[in-house]
Structure 1
């Protein structure tokens, strides 16, 4: 029997499979997207009809049997967007995020990079989309992300070289957790500098954890660890909704290569 949750708040993420979609829902509205992140869930929209149809072929039985619920009451095709909450969850404690020795050496030895916060949110998102396959950053998702940025929930860090945008990262803040959606680079190491800068700014605002969503060697190189989903969701549920704003000043990236106590 199909299981339907009227709201993300009603979804029991902890009962979901650890390595597959935890729900289907076509709702990519700003309100729905923000509620999903508060529940520990992020979207993966189908980039084309083939991917949508594949979702239905692979998971329709799971939906019909109630093992994967449908969220919301909207009549739109739910298989257009799958929602995920992996177990374990790859995260970076802000105190543990770090640059490799070689990248730190490059910054100390003269790379004239600088970093900023929220000076080019949509540019960063569209650079992250680029020509990647699958194209999960759809127009609908980007529109909602931009709306959430304007409302103060979504943020970006930019890395600059001589006025040119060469790297960045963006995502949503949920109290003391920041869920990173994607990053990009046009110079080697620029995305790692963006994440390190985000960790430093987020720590200054009382943040504790960067959520990497998907595990990778890139995440591990930055100091990422695996956290049980139950622990991650507990962190989201107890996190404070009222937090300090992150510093917005444009700063030299070289400071990220200095000892933490001297920044």
Structure 2
């Protein structure tokens, strides 16, 4: 029997498959996004009709059996967007996030970079989309993310060189967790500086974890570790609706290259 829920509230993903979608829902509205992130789930829109059809072909049986729920209105096509909550979950403890020694040395000696918070949110999101394949940052998703930024839930860190945006990261602040959606760089190391800067600002606001969503060597090089989905959800549930503003000043990136941050 197909399991359909009106919304994300109360969805328990702890028993879901560790490496597949935990739900399907076409609802990418700001309210749906925020509710999904608060229960530990993030979206991956299909980039084209082939991917949407593949979702249905591969997972329709599990949906029919009730192992993967559908969320939202019956009239909407759920297979256009899959929603994920991987187990284990890659996270960056804010106190352990660091730059490599070589990048820290470059910042100290010659890179005149600066960092900011929320100075160019949509610019960071669109730079993250770029020409990447698959194109999961759809126009609809970007519009909802920009609205969540306007409401104070979504934030970006920017890295600048002589007034040019050369790197950044963005995501949603969920109490003691910041869920990072994507990052980009136009200079080697700029995305790593953005994440390290975010960790410092978030720690000052009482934050504990940066959620990397998907594991990679890039995440591991910054101090990323894997935790169980249960551990992640437990941390998220503790303070998911409580957020303290992060420091917003534009600052020299060289401050991140002090011995405590150089790893």
TM-score (normalised: structure 1): 0.97
Offset at residue 240 of structure 1 (A):
5.7
Q: CA deviation at 1:11?
A: 1.4
The alignment covers a number of residue pairs equal to: 261
Q: Provide, for residues 181-236 of structure 1, a one-character-per-residue CA deviation record: whole Å limited to 9, x for no partner.
A: 00000000000000000000000000000000000000000000001000100111
Measured against aligned partners, the alpha-carbon deviations of 1:41-65 in whole angstroms (never above 9, x if no partner) come to: 0000001111101111111111111
> Residue 123 of structure 1 aligns to a residue in which SS?
helix
Match of 2:185 in 1: 185
Tell me which residue corresponds to 1:211: 211
Contact 1:26-1:74 within 8 A present in 2 as well:
no
1:74 CA displacement = 4.5
Change over 3 Å in CA distance of 1:66–1:242 after alignment to 2: closer
Name the CA distance, whole Å, in 2 between partners of 1:245 and 1:133. 33
The alignment partner of 1:26 has SS state of coil
Q: In the alignment, what sits opposite 2:251?
A: 251
SS of match in other structure, 2:183: strand
2:177 and 2:240 in contact (8 A); partners too: no
Match of 2:18 in 1: 18
After TM superposition, the score normalised by the length of structure 2 is 0.97
Q: Distance in 2 between matches of 1:242 and 1:65?
A: 36
| SS of corresponding position for 1:192 | helix
- Structure 2 equivalent of residue 148 of structure 1: 148
The answer on whether the counterparts of 1:18 and 1:86 sit within 8 Å (CA) in structure 2 is yes
Residue 4 of structure 1, CA deviation = 1.1
Q: Which residues of structure 2 form unaligned runs of 5+?
A: none
Gap regions ≥5 residues in structure 1: none
Deviation readout 1:166-193 (Å, 9 max, x if unpaired): 0000000100100000000000000000
1: CA distance, partners of 2:60 / 2:123: 36
For 1:241 and 1:47, the matched residues in 2 are separated by 31
Query: How far off is 1:18 after superposition?
Result: 0.3
Structure-2 residue corresponding to 1:104: 104
- For structure 1, which segment, 236-245 or 142-151, has the greater mean C-alpha deviation from structure 2 after superposition? 236-245
8 A Cα contact 1:55 1:79, kept in partner: yes
The residue that corresponds to 2:134 in the other structure is 134
Question: Displacement, 1:6?
Answer: 1.8
Corresponding residue of 1:241 = 241
Asked if structure 2 preserves the Cα contact closer than 8 Å seen for 1:27 and 1:74, the reply is no
C-alpha displacement at 1:120, in angstroms? Answer: 0.3
Deviation at 1:244, TM superposition (A): 2.2
| Distance across 1 between alignment mates of 2:139 and 2:207 | 30
Over aligned residue pairs, what C-alpha RMSD do you find?
A: 1.0
Separation of aligned partners in 2, 1:71 and 1:226 = 28
Partner secondary structure for residue 9 of structure 1: coil
